Amino acid sequence: MTEQGFEAEGLVKAFGKVTALDGVSLAAPRGQVLGVLGPNGAGKTTVIRILATLLRPDGGRASVAGYDVTRQPGQVRRRIALSGQHASVDEELTGRANLVMIGRLLDLTHPQAARRAGELLARFGLEDAAKRPVAGYSGGMRRRLDLAASLVGRPEVVFLDEPSVGLDPGKRDELWQMIRGLSADGVTVLLTTQYLEEADALADAIAVIDHGRVIASGTPAELKSQVGGHTIAVRPNDPADAEATTAILADVAGRAPERSTRHELAVPVTGDEALFEIAARLREQRIGVSELSLRLPSLDEVFLALTGAPATAADNTPEPTKAAS
């Protein structure tokens, strides 16, 4: 492989009787973001720890930035950064001092370390906070500083283990911008997440893992079409037409539609023929619509179809759902 990001083949890892990884293969070429998606305990952190040379696999092989993780761990370590769940910054130091210290530890001269710290503080929107101790930072600022800290050494591959856990949606969006910036710089990213939206928003490709196995992989669009089927959604102009619309959908799709908020009715279908049939029947009955769409299933629906279980409640969008009838 000339495009060196990372690749793993058949990784196996057991902890006592627990099989954490049962033959995991995944890869990303240089500059791409691979999203590793899976519920708690699926094996996501174990994959990262093996690729980051913190843990030896029992079987299989992996290379990162062109070097084998078990035979050339020193070469791998020089080219990677690990960031996410366990922030590695010193609480008592200022943001700037943290970045300078890391630069010094990486053998930069003081002026080089100071310059690199300045660049990263600017890029991560932390210039104002740079002179304050990290102890007073908000969760979002800490996460950005942690990501900045991981970039001091200009890594080729960055591992982000559930980077946005616990961030509110605004802070999460800021972090997403930063992560997109990494891949724009040619950095290869492995991002683990339980948030389907996050994988959809950031990843060039996704590997879904469950019980230590890759159960599906591909681009977000490929995953959605792999599950098969589409959803048709209709919103009648006049809410009084809901019943007649429901009857049409049920008749064409062969099953009762779901009624979502805002008077939208949605039903899964297998092909686009149903769309034309539904449109024709709506016109026949003079039912005006404000929305009529054929769409791929959401990643939530994909996850449900693949694992047989919805993403756990805590994994779903944090904002409260608006009560509309």
Ligand X SMILES: Nc1ncnc2c1ncn2[C@@H]1O[C@H](COP(=O)(O)OP(=O)(O)O)[C@@H](O)[C@H]1O
Binding site for ligand X (CB under 6 A): 15, 18, 20, 38, 40-46
Sign of the torsion angle spanned by Cα atoms 124, 127, 132, 133: positive
Give bridge partners of residue 205 from the DSSP assignment: 34
Closest CA to 197 of 319, 57, 75: 319
- State the nearest-atom distance from the C-beta of 312 to ligand X, in Å: 11
- State the nearest-atom distance from the C-beta of 215 to ligand X, in Å: 13
> Interface mask (CB under 5 A) for Mg ion, residues 220-259, using x and -?
----------------------------------------
193 contacts Mg ion (rule: CB under 5 A): no
The pairing of beta strand 205-210 with beta strand 67-68: unpaired
Q: d(Cα 249, Cα 294) in Å, to the nearest integer?
A: 13
Residue 276 binding target from Mg ion, ligand X, none, CB below 5 to 8 Å by type: none
Three-state secondary-structure class, residue 157: strand
Query: Whose Cβ is closer to Mg ion: residue 84's or residue 153's?
Result: 84
Question: Which contacts qualify for 75-80: CB closer than 8 Å, 24 or more apart?
Answer: 76/52, 77/52, 77/53, 78/153, 79/155, 79/156, 79/157, 80/51, 80/52, 80/155, 80/156, 80/157, 80/158, 80/159
- State the nearest-atom distance from the C-beta of 53 to ligand X, in Å: 16
- State the nearest-atom distance from the C-beta of 42 to Mg ion, in Å: 8
Q: How many residues bind Mg ion (CB under 5 A)?
A: 2
Query: And the tokens for 29?
Result: 């070429």
How does DSSP classify residue 133? Answer: B
Query: Whose Cβ is closer to ligand X: residue 42's or residue 126's?
Result: 42
Q: Which listed range, 44-52, 57-65, 212-220, 306-314, lies at the site for Mg ion (CB under 5 A)?
A: 44-52
Question: Please, is 303 exposed, middle or buried when counting C-beta atoms within 10 Å of its C-beta (0-12, 13-18, 19+)?
Answer: buried
Query: Whose Cβ is closer to ligand X: residue 38's or residue 153's?
Result: 38
Query: And the tokens for 17?
Result: 């009787």
Query: Whose Cβ is closer to Mg ion: residue 44's or residue 263's?
Result: 44
- State the nearest-atom distance from the C-beta of 198 to ligand X, in Å: 14
83 contacts Mg ion (rule: CB under 5 A): no
Residue 140 binding target from ligand X, Mg ion, none, CB below 5 to 8 Å by type: none
107 close to 91: Cβ distance less than 8 angstroms: no
- State the nearest-atom distance from the C-beta of 161 to Mg ion, in Å: 6
- State the nearest-atom distance from the C-beta of 55 to Mg ion, in Å: 13
Query: Whose Cβ is closer to ligand X: residue 85's or residue 316's?
Result: 85
Closest CA to 95 of 123, 54, 58: 123
What residue number has its CB nearest to Mg ion?
45
Residue 261 binding target from ligand X, Mg ion, none, CB below 5 to 8 Å by type: none
Residue 43 binding target from ligand X, Mg ion, none, CB below 5 to 8 Å by type: ligand X
Residue with tokens 């600017």: 122
Residue 41 binding target from ligand X, Mg ion, none, CB below 5 to 8 Å by type: ligand X
Closest CA to 214 of 202, 226, 229: 226
Query: Whose Cβ is closer to ligand X: residue 141's or residue 206's?
Result: 206
**Residue 128 falls in which region: left (phi positive, over 0), alpha (psi -120 to 50) or beta:** alpha
Residue 38 binding target from Mg ion, ligand X, none, CB below 5 to 8 Å by type: ligand X
45 contacts Mg ion (rule: CB under 5 A): yes
Where does this chain bind Mg ion (CB under 5 A)?
44-45
